Amino acid sequence: MKKENKVLACVDQSRFADYVTDYAAWAARRLTVPLELLHIIDRHPETANSKDHSGAIGIDAQEHLLTALSDEDESRSKAAREQGRLFLNRLRERAVAAGVQSTDVRQRYGHLEETLAEQEDDVSLFVLGRRGESAEHTQRDLGRHVERVVRTLHKPILAVTEGFTEPRRVMIAFDGSVVTRRGVKMVAASPLFKDLPVHLLMSGKESQGSPKQLEWARKTLESAGFDTPAYLIPGDAESVIAKTVKNQEIDILIMGAYSHSTLRSLLFGSKTSDLLRSAKIPTLLLR
């Protein structure tokens, strides 16, 4: 039996959830697939407010403490589920108002990456915020979860920023790699960006084969009916991409993501994270 394709939006209880929902609803409409809003409750072990934590207590006291801990945990779980239910219902109403009638909501206990990986076979596009609940209390411009999720999954991931603007112009940061060539073919075959201009930008260190690779990408997209301005601009990729995004008023950037190992990123930093910070717009990440 053919598995259902859907857009899966991962939301937490922060103001960023509204923007994730808006972009996910836009994508579901364009792809004509159902939308699912997923809220993951991360269960953290809690310590009871008992005065005696020495372990040197009698059997009856131990049983009482375990019962109290269990009751407190159940109470917290019930409150979290109810709060999550109300939160998801509000987002569902928002998605329906945006034109997505087939909108489902789901709550799961678990860890973010593992839970999303379990859903991957049924998903055509993931949508998540670059920042989330924990980032509301920090100055980070990129949530800690983004790299972990992108490295775990293999489907395209739309990482969105604060605020929603219906996309009018798209740009592919093309480097001739297998990943970005696959991305060009994906865009050409998908209704997600149909009737939108798709700009092509090749930057970084220029090679002898760069013009030929860029021409292949341009012809592939134009053959699929896209208006495809193409630019070959040598120089620092991060600076060139950020400048071109601003000059061409690009609304969504498409690029390959985290091609190097986690260890290399720890030692030398991540080019993907740097580009995400500099672009300032929603980014479709390809693996």
Longest dimension (CA), the chain: 79
Q: What is the pTM of this model?
A: 0.81
Residue that the structure tokens 């990729």 belong to: 237
Angle (CA) 208-212-213 rounded to 5° is: 100
Other Cβ atoms closer than 10 A to 61:
12
Residue 41 CA to residue 109 CA, distance in Å, equals 5
Domains of the chain: 1-45+74-164 (3.40.50.620), 167-287 (3.40.50.620)
User: How far is CA 243 from each of CA 86, 236, 275, rounded to the nearest angstrom?
Assistant: 41, 11, 12
pLDDT (tens, 9 = 90+) of the chain, 287 residues, equals 345 599 999 999 888 999 999 999 999 999 999 999 999 987 654 444 444 444 445 556 666 666 665 656 666 667 777 888 899 999 999 999 999 989 999 998 888 899 999 999 999 999 999 865 554 444 445 556 777 888 888 899 999 988 999 999 999 999 998 989 999 999 999 999 999 999 999 988 878 889 999 999 999 999 999 999 999 999 888 889 999 999 999 999 998 876 543 433 333 335 666 666 666 899 999 87
